[in-house]
C-alpha cells in the first residue's frame, strides 16, 4: 500500500530525522512496502531451472547503483524472477543519494531509472536490515536461490601517517556524508572557523568537497543539501582550499566536469607534493624517505611517478580532509574477502568457492569508475547468474524468499521497512 502523506514524527533521533528527510527526496509510494509470496503451485520442479517453469527467488544486498543495475538486468532477462533488495539504511540509492554533490543534481537523474525497477511487482525493498548483523549471508542463501552482494565501499582508505587522528582531520567520505545527510555522519561537526582548508587527494570527491566549501551558501540553498550543513556553511570562514596530490596536475584523477566555476576562474592554481600532518592540525609537505612518494619529476601520462626531493613545505590550515579513496569491508565471516585489495574474490561476479553467491559493483572490482562502469559491471554479474540458473547450477527446489527472512528478523525482535 502506498503512503500518501509523511508521518508526523518528532525527530528525537537520527532514524526519525532520516525518515522525515526522505520525503524531500522521493515519494515512497513507488515502493511496494510488502510483497505477498508467490501463490502455491502443484507444478513439479525439475532438476534444471527453466525460465518458463520456475520462479527464482534472488536476493540483492545493497540498494546503490550496483544493486539496482543487477536487479534491473535480472528482472529484464528473466520473466519470472523475483528480486528482494536489502539495505542497511532506511532509504534506497546508496551513493547516488549520499555521495553525489548536491550542486550536481543531474548525476542523480539515474534515480528515475532505479525507480522504474522498484515499481516492478517482482521487486521489493527491505530497508533498515544490516546483513552480517541482523541476518547472516548463509541465512540468506537458505532462503533464496541466489544472493548478490552489492553493498559497495562503506569505508575510507586511511592515510597511515602521523597526525591522522588529530582534531580537525576528517575523511572526505565522512564530510560528504555530513552535508548529504548520511545518518552515521550527522554528528561530525567540522570546525569551519578557519580561513584555509587542505584536501589530500585529487579525485572527483576531493573536487566536490572543495566546491562545496567555496560555493556561496545562497547557491547551495537551491540544492538538497541538509539544513544543518547549510547553516554551518553560512558561518564558514574558509576562503582558501588547497588540493594536495602526490603527482602533478597532468595526472589528476578528477574529471573536468567536477571543477565547476572555481576551476574556471582566476583563483585556481596547481602545485605539488605528498603530505603528512603536523601537530597543530596543519598539513606539512615533507621531504620523504627513499621509495616514498614526493614531488612529481615532470612528464606526462599515468606512468609518471612521484619521487622524493628532500624539500619540506609547511602549509598552515585549520581543516584537513583526506580524500585518497574508498574501500569495502568484509560483510560476513562466511564470505571470503581480500583485505589487501578490498574486494570479494570472484570470477566475473561469481564468488570464489561459493556457488550461488555473487557480487557486483565496488565490492567486486574495487572503488573505481563512474556510474556507467558500475552498470556494465552489474549487468555482467546478472548475466553470469542467469547462465548458472539456466545450466542448473543453482538449487532446484522452491525457496521461501523474504517470508523466511521476515520470520527470522521477527524472532530477533527486528523488522524491516
How far is residue 2's CA from residue 112's CA, in Å, rounded to a whole number? 18
List 73, 78, 111, 208, catalytic entry: 208
Show binding-site residues for NADP(+): 202-205, 246-247, 369
Is the pTM of the predicted complex or chain greater than 0.75?
yes
Strands (E), 66-156: 82-86, 123-126, 146-149, 155-156
List 240, 255, 372, 376, catalytic entry: 372
Q: Give SS3 for 106.
A: helix
Residues in the chain: 417
Show binding-site residues: 66, 87, 95, 131, 202-205, 246-247, 362, 369-371
Tens digit of each residue's pLDDT, the chain (417 residues): 333 333 333 344 444 444 433 433 444 344 444 454 444 433 333 344 443 457 999 999 999 999 999 999 999 999 999 999 999 999 999 989 998 989 888 888 999 999 999 999 999 999 999 999 999 999 999 999 999 999 999 888 888 888 888 999 999 999 999 999 999 999 999 999 999 999 999 888 999 999 999 999 999 999 999 999 999 999 999 999 999 887 666 666 666 555 554 444 334 554 444 444 433 333 333 333 333 334 444 445 556 677 778 888 888 999 999 999 899 999 999 999 999 999 999 999 999 999 999 999 999 999 988 899 999 999 999 999 999 999 999 998 999 999 999 999 999 999 877
Q: Which residues pair with 359 in a beta bridge?
A: 149
- Alpha helix stretches (DSSP H) within 325-415: 362-365, 371-390, 402-411
Q: What are phi and psi of 338, to 5 degrees?
A: -95, 105
Q: What are phi and psi of 322, to 5 degrees?
A: -90, 120
Predicted local distance difference test score (pLDDT) of residue 245: 84
Is 104 considered catalytic here?
A: yes
Q: Give SS3 for 200.
A: strand
Buried/exposed 253-276: b ≥16 CB within 10 Å, e otherwise: bbeeebbbeebeeeeeeeebbbbb
Residue 334 CB burial class (10 angstroms; 0-12, 13-18, ≥19): middle
How far is residue 387's CA from residue 382's CA, in Å, rounded to a whole number? 9
Answer whether 299's CB lies under 8 Å from 275's CB. no
Is 371 considered catalytic here?
A: yes
Bridge-based pairing of strands 357-359 and 146-149 is parallel
Is 3 considered catalytic here?
A: no
**Helix, strand, coil % (nearest 5) of the chain?**
30, 15, 55
Is 304 considered catalytic here?
A: no
| Cα-only R_g, the chain | 23
Show binding-site residues for FAD: 66, 87, 95, 131, 362, 369-371
List 104, 115, 196, 271, catalytic entry: 104
Answer whether 96's CB lies under 8 Å from 66's CB. no
Predicted local distance difference test score (pLDDT) of residue 78: 97
Amino acid at each position: 500500500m502506498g503512503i500518501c502523506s509523511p508521518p508526523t514524527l518528532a525527530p528525537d533521533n537520527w532514524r526519525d530525522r532520516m525518515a522525515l528527510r526522505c520525503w524531500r527526496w522521493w515519494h515512497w509510494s513507488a515502493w511496494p512496502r510488502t510483497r505477498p509470496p508467490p501463490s502455491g503451485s502443484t507444478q513439479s520442479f525439475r532438476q534444471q531451472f527453466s525460465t518458463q517453469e520456475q520462479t527464482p527467488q534472488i536476493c540483492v544486498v545493497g540498494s546503490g547503483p550496483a544493486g539496482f543495475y543487477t536487479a534491473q538486468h535480472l528482472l529484464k532477462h528473466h520473466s519470472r524472477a523475483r528480486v528482494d533488495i536489502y539495505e542497511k539504511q532506511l532509504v534506497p540509492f546508496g551513493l547516488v543519494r549520499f555521495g553525489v554533490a548536491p550542486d550536481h543534481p543531474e548525476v542523480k537523474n539515474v534515480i528515475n531509472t532505479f525507480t522504474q525497477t522498484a515499481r516492478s511487482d517482482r521487486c521489493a525493498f527491505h530497508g533498515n536490515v544490516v546483513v552480517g548483523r541482523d541476518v547472516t549471508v548463509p541465512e540468506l542463501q537458505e532462503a533464496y536461490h541466489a544472493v548478490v552482494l552489492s553493498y559497495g565501499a562503506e569505508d575510507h582508505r586511511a592515510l597511515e601517517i602521523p597526525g591522522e587522528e588529530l582534531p580537525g582531520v576528517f575523511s572526505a567520505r565522512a564530510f560528504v556524508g555530513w552535508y548529504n545527510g548520511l545518518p552515521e555522519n550527522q554528528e561530525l561537526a567540522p570546525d569551519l572557523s578557519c580561513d584555509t582548508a587542505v584536501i589530500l587527494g585529487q579525485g572527483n570527491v576531493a573536487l566536490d568537497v572543495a566546491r562545496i566549501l567555496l560555493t556561496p551558501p545562497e547557491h547551495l540553498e537551491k540544492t538538497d543539501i541538509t539544513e544543518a550543513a547549510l547553516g554551518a556553511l553560512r558561518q564558514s570562514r574558509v576562503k582558501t582550499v588547497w588540493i594536495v596530490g602526490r603527482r602533478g596536475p597532468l595526472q589528476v584523477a578528477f574529471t573536468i566536469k567536477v571543477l565547476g566555476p572555481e576551476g574556471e576562474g582566476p583563483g585556481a592554481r596547481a602545485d605539488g607534493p605528498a603530505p603528512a600532518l603536523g601537530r597543530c592540525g596543519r598539513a606539512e609537505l615533507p621531504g620523504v624517505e627513499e621509495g616514498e612518494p614526493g614531488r612529481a619529476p615532470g612528464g606526462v601520462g599515468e606512468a609518471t611517478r612521484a619521487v622524493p626531493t628532500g624539500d619540506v613545505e609547511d602549509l598552515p590550515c585549520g581543516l584537513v580532509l583526506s580524500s585518497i579513496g574508498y574501500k569495502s569491508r568484509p560483510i560476513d565471516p562466511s564470505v571470503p574477502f581480500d583485505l589487501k585489495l578490498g574486494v570479494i574474490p570472484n570470477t566475473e561476479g561469481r564468488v570464489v568457492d561459493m556457488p550461488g553467491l555473487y557480487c557486483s559493483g565496488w565490492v567486486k572490482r574495487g572503488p573505481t569508475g563512474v556510474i556507467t562502469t558500475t552498470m556494465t559491471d552489474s549487468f555482467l554479474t546478472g548475466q553470469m547468474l542467469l547462465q548458472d540458473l539456466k545450466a542448473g547450477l543453482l538449487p532446484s527446489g522452491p525457496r521461501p524468499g523474504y517470508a523466511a527472512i521476515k520470520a527470522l528478523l521477527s524472532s530477533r525482535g527486528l523488522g524491516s521497512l
